[in-house]
């Protein structure tokens, strides 16, 4: 019995010793970290107090030099502490009437924190407020994703016929709406104007049924078209100074559609057999692979720092037909075998959706004309 307990007791004693040693090491590390943090806080506080003291005593050049040395040589300042140093440098340069250097320091402040805004409660000088308001900060490059409902429409411009007993004026059948997911990019070249590009890959399925005047003849044509679409448009933000986070906009531009594939099937049946069917027909030779649309739109956005959320509406009007009139009889199986021939048809669409974007780079520049608003606006 003692032979069993003794090794167990020895093991427990050894475990306690190891645990105590580890705990002691952890306590030592924690104390060292705390001492280092306290030293860091003391140095940071002392440096800031010295810079502020130089400023209060009118030693603006010494203040600027100290701030520059602190910004480049000290990495443990908090974000707020660094921001305070930027502000102190700007104020010191303004006191020395070094306007150009103060403007560059203000740009440096906004590059560090693009979302900095004036604190009107504090007693900033009029020159400081005027300078800060003269700096334009807006997103330069943003990437986003869109989730929308697409509502296509077909418009027949010209009807062609093969056999007089088939009704070629029958309307197209297609889904009235479907969901879309795609990416988009925005480059903002001024405070209110952007150029946008979207990258969309989507599929359009439709059918066209021609009914004969006798014997209940039906010719059913089905087609699946795949497009890669790139809308390019200008967007103008309608900024509201009172509600700086609200982003209404209007846009207009053009869209290019590249038809990458077009596959069809055809069938014919009547009251008397037989019935016919052919599938997997490549009808790309009968299509215009390059089509264009004009577009306009409007939307409303909300900004949270570098994140923006939008409700969007876009309207697209077709410019040219996706069917090629000169090649409408290029596939004899359809034109002669089934009596099917394309109409001249233009496709347009409407789109309603929601999108979200993230700003990866901001633009910081001097405004052409300073604006004396109650707060700096960033869009």
Contact between 72 and 108 (Cβ < 8 Å): no
Per-residue model confidence (pLDDT) at position 174: 95
90 & 221 share domain: no
Is residue 179 over pLDDT 90? yes
Residue 30's domain is classified under what CATH number? 1.25.40.10
| Higher pLDDT, residue 176 or 242 | 176
Report yes or no on 371 lying in a domain: no
With 80 as the cut, is the pLDDT of residue 165 above it?
A: yes
- Considering the domain architecture, whether residues 197 and 108 belong to the same structural domain is answered as no
Domain span including residue 113? 1-134
CB under 8 Å to 346, separation ≥6 — which residues? Answer: 154, 155, 157, 318, 319, 320, 321, 322
Here the CATH number for the domain that contains residue 198 is: 2.40.160.20
How far is 96 from 98, CA to CA, in rounded Å?
5
Q: What is the pLDDT of residues 27-64, one digit of tens each?
A: 444 444 343 344 344 446 677 788 888 888 888 898 89
Q: Please report whether residue 316 resides in a domain.
A: yes
Q: Are residues 162 and 124 in the same domain?
A: no
Q: Can you give the pTM of this predicted structure?
A: 0.77
Residues 121 and 148 in one domain: no
Mean pLDDT (whole number) for 121-141: 86
Same domain, 107 and 95: yes
Same-domain pairing of 323 and 197? yes
What's the rounded Cα separation, in Å, for the pair 212 and 366?
Answer: 71
- What is the distance between the alpha carbons of residues 230 and 236, in angstroms, rounded to a whole number? 19
* Listed residue (209, 230, 355, 237) closest to 295, CA to CA: 230
Interval 73-127: pLDDT, tens: 555 567 788 888 889 999 999 999 999 999 999 999 999 899 888 765 567 888 9
């Amino acid at each position: 019995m003692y032979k069993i307990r003794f090794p167990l007791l020895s093991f427990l004693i050894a475990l306690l010793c190891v645990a105590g040693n580890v705990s002691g090491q952890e306590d030592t590390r924690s104390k060292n970290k705390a001492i280092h943090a306290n030293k860091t806080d003391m140095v940071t506080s002392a440096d800031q107090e010295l810079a502020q003291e130089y400023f209060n005593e009118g030693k603006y050049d010494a203040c600027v030099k100290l701030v520059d040395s602190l910004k480049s040589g000290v990495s443990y300042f908090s974000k707020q502490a660094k921001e305070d140093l930027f502000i102190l440098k700007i104020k010191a340069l303004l006191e020395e009437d070094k306007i150009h250097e103060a403007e560059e320091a203000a740009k440096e402040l906004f590059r560090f924190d693009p979302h900095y805004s004036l604190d009107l409660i504090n007693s900033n000088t009029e020159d400081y407020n005027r300078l800060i308001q003269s700096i334009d900060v807006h997103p330069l490059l943003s990437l986003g994703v869109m989730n929308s409902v697409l509502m296509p429409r077909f418009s027949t411009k010209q009807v062609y016929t093969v056999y007089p007993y088939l009704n070629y004026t029958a309307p197209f059948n297609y889904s009235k709406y479907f969901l879309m997911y795609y990416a988009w990019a925005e480059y903002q070249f001024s405070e209110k104007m952007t150029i946008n590009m979207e990258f969309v890959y989507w599929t359009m399925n439709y059918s066209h049924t021609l009914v004969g005047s006798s014997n209940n003849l039906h010719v059913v044509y089905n087609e699946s078209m795949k497009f890669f679409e790139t809308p390019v448009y200008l967007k103008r933000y309608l900024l509201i100074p009172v509600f700086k986070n609200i982003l209404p906009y209007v846009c207009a531009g053009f869209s290019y559609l590249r038809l990458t594939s077009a596959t069809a099937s055809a069938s014919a049946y009547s009251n008397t057999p037989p019935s016919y069917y052919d599938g997997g027909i490549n009808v790309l030779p009968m299509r215009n692979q390059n089509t264009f649309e004009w577009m306009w739109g409007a939307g409303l956005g909300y900004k949270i720092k570098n994140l923006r959320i939008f409700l969007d509406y876009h309207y697209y009007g077709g410019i040219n037909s996706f069917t090629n009139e000169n090649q409408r009889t290029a596939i004899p199986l359809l034109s002669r075998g089934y009596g099917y021939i394309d109409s001249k048809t233009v496709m347009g669409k409407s789109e309603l959706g929601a999108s979200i974007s993230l700003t990866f780079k901001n633009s910081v520049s001097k405004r052409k004309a300073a604006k004396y608003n109650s707060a700096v606006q960033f869009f």
